């Protein structure tokens, strides 16, 4: 990956590669799920603890290879474990729980000692090849680097995803050595050992080879991310969501979207975002962990940890920061930024406003260009605007203040005190016009010349006689 981040902690679809693998494993309802760690062990364990506290952690020692990894994984499980053991990988994010369940059912019903998921690829380069016996059962699996030319010509590949009989797995692993090109303890050697012991090794062929694809570099990461996103979009569309252009729409796996919602091009729905039925999102919207109600509209906006109520409108070019709550049928308009703002039902913040640390009551209106000055250089302060109150354009509300229900703040005010119900606050200097200032202070300028012409025209109009009646 050429990265300071461990491979399994790279992300697609809103979670890490390892997170996808753990979810698939949990979907089998397995009694135990263990994660074998080695590279960047502490960072991977930290993720596991936050993602799923019930995971068992197994540390792999200096002996390399998948066979040794499985041995270490078994060591943290009960010594008397029996039944079926599934082995999957932390870098195969498209594998589903349904496929693992199907593998388990096929394994147990066939009485096989080992079952392995396989797939046929047009280009199997880099994958271990499946070598079958005369009866069609798997005789052995040969790694690509150890394969002959004839074996490399085989197109059926080993996914590395297995179902084992637990007791046979322990017994066979004890016989596996490291005599191979890589000096590793291969899990694939278990297959040959079990086959030579006369036990059945079965292939569970999947028609969807993407479920077997692993990630080894950022090109593959992007490709699998694209495939996953296409599948997520298709799932939503089949459930009654209109996604106008899936190619430019990115939807994380944990996003929920209601029926008859419309997602327009250039939209990103990230994290645990939820979209209500009948809402229209986009174009060019990014929502992260944001809740949008039914029938709402969000256009060319960015929101993070925000709530948009039923029938509300947001945008264009709005920025909803964490703690923003817009009530039903409310409005956050163009070039508005909000943070820790609770905007009541039907309230409007239409234009060019910063609203931080503020509660705005239902039906209130905030005029264009208003700034809630919530920070005094040391601490943040909160302001309240009452229900059905009105703040005029180009006002600065210096927090903390309380504007009561049914009050007005005159346009251009710099408000520093409370306003009682029914009052209008006028917090600005009285206008004073100084005659002759331009001629004195800006003499010789075009402004002064324009003023002189305008004054001469006014004087000429004043001296013209007023007609006493209609003219012919």
Q: Which of 212, 243, 274 is the last residue of a domain?
A: 212
Q: Is 448 exposed, middle or buried (0-12, 13-18, 19+ CB in 10 A)?
A: middle
Could you tell me if 269 and 125 lie in one domain?
Answer: no
Q: Which of 93-97, 135-139, 317-321 is predicted with the least confidence, judged by mean pLDDT?
A: 135-139
Could you tell me if 102 and 151 lie in one domain?
Answer: yes
What's residue 471's pLDDT? 52
Question: Interior CA angle at 50 toward 44 and 56, to 5°?
Answer: 65
pLDDT class of 467 with cuts at 50, 70, 90: low
Could you tell me if 268 and 405 lie in one domain?
Answer: yes
Is 465 within the bounds of a domain? Answer: no
Per the structure, how many domains does the chain have? 2
Mean pLDDT value of segment 205-225: 96
Domain that holds residue 397: 229-425
Is 402 within the bounds of a domain? Answer: yes
Mean pLDDT value of segment 306-332: 98
Its sign, for the CA torsion 235, 320, 365, 351, is: negative
Active site residues: 351
**Pairing status of strand 383-385 against strand 365-366:** unpaired
pLDDT class of 356 with cuts at 50, 70, 90: very high
Is 442 within the bounds of a domain? Answer: no
Q: Is the peptide bond before 255 cis (omega within 30 degrees of 0)?
A: no
Q: Global pTM?
A: 0.91
CA atoms of 19 and 25, how far apart (whole Å): 10
Residue 414 belongs to a domain with what CATH number? 2.160.10.10
What's residue 465's pLDDT? 61
Is 452 within the bounds of a domain? Answer: no
CA atoms of 67 and 70, how far apart (whole Å): 5
Could you tell me if 96 and 125 lie in one domain?
Answer: yes
**Pairing status of strand 262-263 against strand 280-281:** parallel
Could you tell me if 189 and 302 lie in one domain?
Answer: no
**Pairing status of strand 424-425 against strand 408-409:** parallel
Could you tell me if 208 and 287 lie in one domain?
Answer: no
Could you tell me if 243 and 180 lie in one domain?
Answer: no
pLDDT class of 367 with cuts at 50, 70, 90: very high
Place of tokens 């005010």: 413
As a whole number of Å, the CA-based R_g of the chain is 34
Is 38 within the bounds of a domain? Answer: yes
Q: Given its phi and psi angles, is residue 458 left (phi above 0), alpha (psi -120 to 50 degrees) or beta? A: alpha
Q: Which residues pair with 6 in a beta bridge?
A: none
Q: Which of 425, 447, 466 is the last residue of a domain?
A: 425
33 within 8 A of 25, measured Cβ to Cβ: yes
Could you tell me if 74 and 186 lie in one domain?
Answer: yes
pLDDT class of 407 with cuts at 50, 70, 90: very high
**Pairing status of strand 365-366 against strand 325-326:** unpaired
The torsion angle over the Cα atoms of residues 385, 391, 395 and 401, rounded to 10 degrees, is: -20
SS3 326: strand
H or E stretch covering 452: helix 446-463
What's residue 198's pLDDT? 93
408 within 8 A of 365, measured Cβ to Cβ: no
194 within 8 A of 168, measured Cβ to Cβ: yes
* pLDDT above 90: percentage of residues in the chain: 90
8-17, 127-136, 422-431, range with greatest mean pLDDT: 8-17
DSSP H helical ranges for 94-247 = 97-110, 149-152, 166-173, 188-196, 218-238
Is 456 within the bounds of a domain? Answer: no
Could you tell me if 204 and 295 lie in one domain?
Answer: no
Residue 201 belongs to a domain with what CATH number? 3.90.550.10
Which of these, 89, 42, 41, 50, lies nearest to 66 by C-alpha position? Answer: 89
SS3 134: coil
Mean pLDDT value of segment 452-462: 88
What's residue 466's pLDDT? 57
Residue 384 is encoded by which pair of tokens?
A: 């309240």
Mean pLDDT value of segment 254-267: 98
- Phi/psi of residue 173, nearest 5 degrees: -60, -30
Is 237 within the bounds of a domain? Answer: yes
Could you tell me if 251 and 400 lie in one domain?
Answer: yes
Could you tell me if 60 and 141 lie in one domain?
Answer: yes
Is 166 within the bounds of a domain? Answer: yes
Q: Which of 184, 212, 240 is the last residue of a domain?
A: 212
CA atoms of 197 and 219, how far apart (whole Å): 41
pLDDT class of 472 with cuts at 50, 70, 90: very low
Could you tell me if 170 and 31 lie in one domain?
Answer: yes
Mean pLDDT value of segment 267-279: 98
């Amino acid at each position: 990956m050429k990265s300071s981040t461990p491979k399994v902690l790279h992300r697609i679809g809103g979670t890490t590669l390892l997170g996808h693998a753990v979810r698939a494993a949990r979907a089998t309802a397995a009694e135990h799920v263990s994660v074998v760690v080695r590279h960047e062990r502490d960072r991977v364990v930290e993720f596991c603890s936050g993602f799923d506290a019930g995971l068992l952690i197994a540390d792999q020692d200096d002996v390399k290879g998948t066979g040794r990894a499985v041995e270490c994984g078994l060591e943290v499980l009960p010594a008397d474990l029996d039944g079926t053991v599934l082995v999957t990988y932390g870098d195969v994010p498209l594998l589903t729980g349904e496929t693992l369940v199907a593998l388990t059912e096929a394994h147990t019903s066939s009485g096989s000692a080992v079952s392995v998921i396989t797939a046929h690829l047009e280009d199997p380069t880099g994958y271990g090849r499946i070598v079958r016996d005369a009866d069609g059962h798997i005789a052995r699996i040969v790694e690509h680097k150890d394969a002959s030319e004839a074996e490399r010509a085989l197109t059926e590949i080993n996914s590395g995803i297995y179902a084992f009989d637990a007791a046979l797995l322990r017994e066979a692993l004890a016989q596996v050595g490291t005599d191979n090109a890589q000096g590793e303890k291969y899990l694939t050697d278990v297959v040959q050992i079990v086959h030579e012991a006369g036990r059945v090794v079965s292939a569970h062929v999947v028609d969807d080879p993407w479920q077997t694809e692993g990630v080894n570099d950022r090109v593959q990461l992007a490709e699998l991310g694209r495939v996953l996103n296409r599948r997520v979009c298709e799932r939503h569309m089949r459930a009654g969501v209109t996604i106008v252009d899936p190619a430019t729409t990115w939807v994380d796996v944990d996003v929920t979207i209601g029926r008859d919602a419309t997602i327009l091009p250039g939209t990103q729905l990230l994290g645990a975002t939820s979209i209500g039925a009948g809402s229209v999102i986009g174009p060019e919207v990014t929502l992260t962990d944001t809740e949008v109600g039914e029938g709402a509209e969000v256009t060319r906006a960015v929101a993070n940890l925000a709530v948009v109520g039923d029938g509300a409108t947001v945008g264009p070019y709005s920025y909803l920061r964490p703690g923003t709550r817009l009530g039903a049928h409310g409005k956050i308009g163009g070039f508005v930024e909000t943070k820790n703002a609770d905007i009541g039902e039907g309230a409007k913040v239409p234009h060019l406003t910063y609203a931080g640390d503020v509660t705005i009551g239902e039906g209130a209106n905030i005029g264009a260009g208003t700034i809630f000055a919530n920070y005094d250089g040391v601490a943040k302060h909160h302001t309240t605007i009452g229900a059905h109150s009105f703040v005029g354009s180009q006002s600065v509300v210096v927090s903390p203040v309380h504007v009561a229900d049914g009050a007005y703040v005159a346009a251009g005010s710099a408000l520093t005190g409370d306003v009682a119900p029914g009052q209008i606050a006028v917090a600005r200097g009285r206008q004073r016009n100084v005659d002759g200032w331009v001629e004195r202070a800006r003499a010789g300028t075009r402004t002064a010349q324009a003023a002189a012409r305008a004054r001469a025209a006014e004087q000429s109009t004043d001296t013209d006689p007023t007609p006493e009646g209609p003219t012919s």
